[in-house]
Amino acid sequence: MTLSLQPERFSFRSRPIAVPGDLRIEWRVSIIVLMLGYSRAKQASLAKLHILNDAIRASRSEHLLELVVKAKPGRMPWTFRVEPAFGRAVDFVVGDKLAGWTTTADRSALQLTAQGVRLFDALTRDADLLTSEKDVLAKYAKTMTETMVTAVLSAARKAK
Amino acid sequence: MIHISHLRLRSITANRIYGADMPFRAGLNVIQAGNTSGKSTSLQAIIYALGLERSLGPQLDVPLPYAMRERIHPRKDDEYELVIESYVEIEIRNAKGQSIIVRRDIVGGKDRKLIQTWAGPGLASGGTRSNPRDFYAIDRGSAQAEDGFYTYLAGFIGWTLPKVPRFDGTESPLYLEAIFPMLFVEQKRGWSTIQGPFPTFLKIQDVARRVMEFLLDLDVGKIRRRRTELRNAISTELVRWTQRRGALEDIAQRVGRLRGIPTAPTAEFAIAPELRLEILRDGEWVAIDEAVRVAKARVTELEETPIEDTEAAVPEMLERLEVVRTDIDRLSAQLEALRSEANLEEQEQRALRARLESLQQDLKRNEDALKLRRLGSDLGHAAGEHVCPTCHQDVSSELLPAVEAVGMGLEENISFVKSQIELYRVGLDSANERVKDCYARFRARDDELREAQSELRSLRQAILQPSKAPSRIVIEEIVRLQAFLERATSFEEAAIIASEELQAIAQVWSRLQEELKATPPDNLTNNDSTKIYALQDAIQRRIQAYGFRSFQPSEIILSLENQRPLALTRDEDGDVVEKEITFEVSASDGIRLKWAYYLSLLQLARNHAGLVVYDEPGQQEIDASSLYAFLKDGARDKSPGRQIIISTSEPLPAVKAAVGEEANVINFDGFILQPLLR
């Protein structure tokens, strides 16, 4: 047996990787539109969106929302996570003119545009879509005020 | 069928009674009056009287304006008077010719959840009403309980409402509130979509599809229903199986371990069940028969040996004592090892469970993302087309943390996650098995240990006995063996009974599985397609007549899935594609399509209630000529089984000219609700 002097070259080809559902743009954009749509005046501060986002991402923190809305503030050491992908999705929402920047309670906030409201209506009309997320958001996005957001933020700060 | 024969509104103040009476006929009825005169009030009162206001939206308490709730005046400039009492009454008629009067109070009367009905002479003619009945509406159970109004109303219309699946996995009837948006177009939200809008609070899966299947009486719905029934029956059998198996396993665990009963019924078990009980003997699992045989032989052997007295037995006993001591040490060590093994297995089981849970969530999200594509360009450029709205570059993997990686396509991703779920499920199943096995071995060792300990105790006592007394060792061994044999026999008896029961369950299960396999697939039957195409033709003809311009009428087709209208267009590559209509046609053409859709459905759907109500069809500043074409079309239908009620503020002469002599035109100058003459 003779060994070839010129070994065959290896070649690597990148295979597509599995993408978690919450990193899908269509899913994320829709969720943000739902968060805003269920909120009062179709607007919510960025901080509130981050909190809702963390609650939606895993059922783990969903009961924390319950605490935020129902219990006395200060009793919830919730170090919620800020997710970079969420920030990028927010940029898309704004870039696509589904929502625009505004301020509420001295925080930068997003408000749905007419186009965003139209998408929100389409999303809520389709009872087949995003059911569990809608349940959570419909319940908490409306009831969570910016004061509660402040409470969560300061509680998180204290907990550290 | 349900027709409205008469509508009566009453709003009572301290000084006088305001009211309106409207007689309706089969065929076309037009309520003509100026803007803000109370046309919508009248039509919504019909829905309110029937207790169906939640079909317009769950939050509406009373969907009626303040003239029926708070204050009222006869003319625009007059002073308001406070409403003290108000109610609405309608007379409805069904295909059998039965008529009833339905009354629901609004202010000051009985509870709003109460709906009263009477048989009796018509509302218009007055007179004594007979056979009063009270029903509850709105509350839980009103659609299924005997005295619920919806049960009664569905029966009156002649509908047998199918059961439909809900999002939470339970089933409910296809509520009237889900169906009525296809019969009643409310002014504020009703014109926003072609089908519906359907209420979402009922949490019915695929509600549009279910309603259309029911109204058009499609076979596919019935087939799916049968399939669901079979699936439910199968899962009931599965639950019975699991319970029975679990009970037997509990008994088995006291003796050893159970083999040969699958976790779910199988066809093989239905024919030839084969179950084995094994017990641990010296570290090996042996069949119970074998263990029983060995035990019996030993008993016989012991019974035949003469019982020695203690003195003679002492050396042997001392030897045995040593052996038992070693055994106890060995067993204790083994038990410790088994305990930590079980811990490890349980940890793995937990990890697998958590992984499965998150995979399932991921699957749901990916599936939702796929469904969201239906919304197309409405989602925006980034989500809809994966193009950055600002720089127009591809952003398909933009939310991924590692940007160099290429993400899987959605469909590929979904099947990838599904296969992972499958894998982990198998893993979890075997982990469960291993945990159980660990415990079975643990218990067996534990029993052995206890036996050894008790033997040790009796040996010690025996050695201390008077030297002439008979040795207790043999007697005690016989007693222990007898106890084991008794346990083994009682288990075998239990196993025989359980095996028969399990076999019976497996047989039922096999039969159900067979029937499920024989059920045709969830496709439209030829009969179904014919119905859908007939509806499509009728709609196309109508929109042509109404001046629809966004597409050629022949380019508007119905989805075979839930019969929503789709537009056939060409994409960039020139291929014909189906697009959602909502974003493709002009607002006024959407209105035309809705007119056509509801009228065609009234004409063709076999389960239709024979009633369509349009509140102010002249939406979106639509051409008057289109509206008149629509009114004329509505007036043309002379079938006695159909009733159309339309409200409009178009001028009276033009309306009359369009609908001709035969339509019932009810005209009001000023407010519809006026003081009644005493």
Q: What would the mean pLDDT of B568-573 be, rounded to a whole number?
A: 78
Query: What confidence score (pLDDT) does residue B8 get?
Result: 92
pLDDT in tens, B173-226: 888 888 999 999 888 778 888 887 888 888 888 888 889 989 988 888 888 888
Residue B54 has pLDDT above 80, yes or no: yes
Q: Which residues pair with B118 in a beta bridge?
A: B101
Q: What would the mean pLDDT of B67-75 be, rounded to a whole number?
A: 84
Q: What would the mean pLDDT of A94-109 be, rounded to a whole number?
A: 83
Q: How high is the mean pLDDT of chain A?
A: 77
Q: What would the mean pLDDT of A16-29 be, rounded to a whole number?
A: 81
Q: For residue B69, what pLDDT band results from cuts at 50, 70 and 90?
A: confident
CB pair distance less than 8 Å for B383 and A14: no
A-B CB pairs within 8 A amount to 144
The interface residues of chain B toward chain A in range 151-170, judged by CB-CB distance below 8 A, are: 167
Cα–Cα distance, B637 to B643 (Å, whole number) = 9
Chain A touched by B400 (CB under 8 Å)? yes
Sequence-distant (6+) residues with CB within 8 A of B319 are none
CB pair distance less than 8 Å for A95 and B389: yes
Nearest to A89 among B366, B374, B399 (CB): B399
Chain B residues within an 8 Å CB radius of A28: 383, 399
Cα–Cα distance, B394 to B400 (Å, whole number) = 13
Chain B residues within an 8 Å CB radius of A100: none
Chain A touched by B381 (CB under 8 Å)? yes
Query: What confidence score (pLDDT) does residue B432 get?
Result: 86
Task: Say what percent of chain B tops pLDDT 90.
Answer: 9
Kindly report the CA angle at B111 between B106 and B113, in degrees rounded to 5?
90
DSSP string of B377-413, one letter each residue: GGG-HHHHH-B-TTT--B-TTTTSSSTTSPBPPHHHH
Q: Which of B372, B392, B561 to mutate to test the interface with A (most CBs of A within 10 A)?
A: B372
Instruction: Kindly report the three-state secondary structure assignment for every residue of B583-607.
Output: HCCCHHHHHHHHHHHHHHHHHHCCC
Q: Hey, which of A72-76, B118-122, B265-269 has the most confident mean pLDDT? A: B265-269
Query: What confidence score (pLDDT) does residue A77 get?
Result: 56
Q: What would the mean pLDDT of B596-606 be, rounded to a whole number?
A: 89
Cα–Cα distance, B28 to B662 (Å, whole number) = 8
Quote the longest CA-to-CA distance of chain A: 80
DSSP string of B659-677, one letter each residue: HTTTSEEEE-SS-SSEEPP
CB pair distance less than 8 Å for B382 and A29: yes
CB pair distance less than 8 Å for B408 and A18: yes
Residue B528 has pLDDT above 60, yes or no: yes
Residue A67 has pLDDT above 70, yes or no: no
Chain A residues within an 8 Å CB radius of B379: 26, 29-30, 96, 119
Q: For residue A160, what pLDDT band results from cuts at 50, 70 and 90?
A: very low
Cα–Cα distance, A150 to B162 (Å, whole number) = 49
Cα nearest neighbour of B411 on chain A:
A18
Chain B residues within an 8 Å CB radius of A118: 378
Q: Which two tokens stand for residue B139?
A: 């509350």
Q: For residue B58, what pLDDT band results from cuts at 50, 70 and 90?
A: low
Shortest Cα distance, chain A CAs vs residue B397, angstroms: 8
Chain A residues within an 8 Å CB radius of B390: 95
CB pair distance less than 8 Å for A129 and B204: no
CB pair distance less than 8 Å for A30 and B361: no
Query: What confidence score (pLDDT) does residue A63 get?
Result: 65
* SS3 state of residue B427: helix
Residue B366 has pLDDT above 80, yes or no: yes
The interface residues of chain B toward chain A in range 175-214, judged by CB-CB distance below 8 A, are: 192-193, 196-198, 200, 203-207
Query: What confidence score (pLDDT) does residue B437 get?
Result: 83
Shortest Cα distance, chain A CAs vs residue B358, angstroms: 9
CB pair distance less than 8 Å for B383 and A29: yes
Cα nearest neighbour of B379 on chain A:
A119
Report CA dihedral (B1, B5, B11, B17) to the nearest 10 degrees: -160
What backbone phi and psi angles, to 5 degrees, belong to A107?
A: -120, 150
CB pair distance less than 8 Å for A127 and B204: yes
Cα–Cα distance, B57 to B63 (Å, whole number) = 9
CB pair distance less than 8 Å for B362 and A20: yes
Query: What confidence score (pLDDT) does residue B91 get?
Result: 92
Whether residue B558 contacts residue B600, with contact meaning beta carbons closer than 8 Å, is answered with no
CB pair distance less than 8 Å for B386 and A24: no
DSSP state of B26: S
Beta-sheet pairing, B114-119 with B130-136: antiparallel
CB pair distance less than 8 Å for A98 and B380: yes
Chain A residues within an 8 Å CB radius of B413: 18-19
Residue A27 has pLDDT above 50, yes or no: yes
Picking from A54-68, B230-244, B338-352, B545-559, which range would have the lowest pLDDT averaged per residue? A54-68
Q: How high is the mean pLDDT of chain B?
A: 84
Cα nearest neighbour of A27 on chain B:
B369
DSSP string of A62-93, one letter each residue: HHHHHHHHHS-TTS----PPP-HHHHHHHHHH
CB pair distance less than 8 Å for B379 and A26: yes
DSSP state of B256: S
Chain A touched by B439 (CB under 8 Å)? no
pLDDT in tens, B489-526: 888 888 888 888 999 999 999 999 998 888 877 778 88
Query: What confidence score (pLDDT) does residue B505 get?
Result: 92
Q: For residue A47, what pLDDT band results from cuts at 50, 70 and 90?
A: confident
Whose tokens are 């209506």? That residue is A121
> Residue B489: what residue type?
T
pLDDT in tens, B606-659: 889 899 998 888 877 788 888 888 888 888 877 888 899 999 888 888 888 888
Query: What confidence score (pLDDT) does residue A159 get?
Result: 47
Chain B residues within an 8 Å CB radius of A131: 167
Chain A residues within an 8 Å CB radius of B204: 127
pLDDT in tens, B572-583: 777 777 777 766
pTM for the model stands at: 0.58
Chain A touched by B361 (CB under 8 Å)? yes
Q: What would the mean pLDDT of B339-366 be, rounded to a whole number?
A: 87
Shortest Cα distance, chain B CAs vs residue A25, angstroms: 5
Chain B residues within an 8 Å CB radius of A30: 368, 372, 379, 383
Q: What would the mean pLDDT of B434-443 be, rounded to a whole number?
A: 84
DSSP string of B530-585, one letter each residue: HHHHHHHHHHHHHHHHTT--SS-GGGEEE-TTT--EEEEEE-TTS-EEEEEGGGTS
Query: What confidence score (pLDDT) does residue A72 get?
Result: 58
**Predicted complex: ipTM over 0.90:** no
Picking from A25-29, B123-127, B130-134, B636-640, which range would have the lowest pLDDT averaged per residue? B123-127
Q: Which of B373, B399, B410 to mutate to test the interface with A (most CBs of A within 10 A)?
A: B399
